Structure 1
Amino acid sequence: MDRPPRYAVTMPGPPGRHGPPEVVVVHATGGVTADGTPVYQDEAGAFQVAIAGDVARPLSTAPGAGRHTCLHAVPLP
């Protein structure tokens, strides 16, 4: 199965502030996790996620993602 080359990952707004979510675009790295899940990262390389289906699991810390174990991911063309 072909994997999308990039995804839009929704990062929640700051807790208790009702701020809008932030969308981060991540690109395929060609790497995989120990269980074979594809790894994606932002352009700066500071934010990495493993994406399975429409769920992105953070592999690195990024503002807003620290306390979240899963984030919504949408494939992009």
Structure 2
Amino acid sequence: MGKNSNADELSIEHLVNELRVVRQSTIMMFESFSKKILETNCVFFEYEMPLYIIGLAITAHQIHHFNIIKERYLPLDK
């Protein structure tokens, strides 16, 4: 687990549910944005990019976490 995380103290069910809730919340937030908002440039770390690109980065990161759970933890349930 991450150096500054307590994820190893939580059940796999808790972690998966947390990721699902965060993903659904992120989807709902981005669906609420107008085209004008999505095309607004934002600073993300040292880069400037439209908000919709940040949304794509969030999506990719969430998929990464789901894949880690699937690869490392769900096979243990079989």
> TM-score scaled by structure 1?
0.29
Structure (1/2) with the larger strand percentage:
1
Between structure 1 and structure 2, the one with the greater Rg is 2
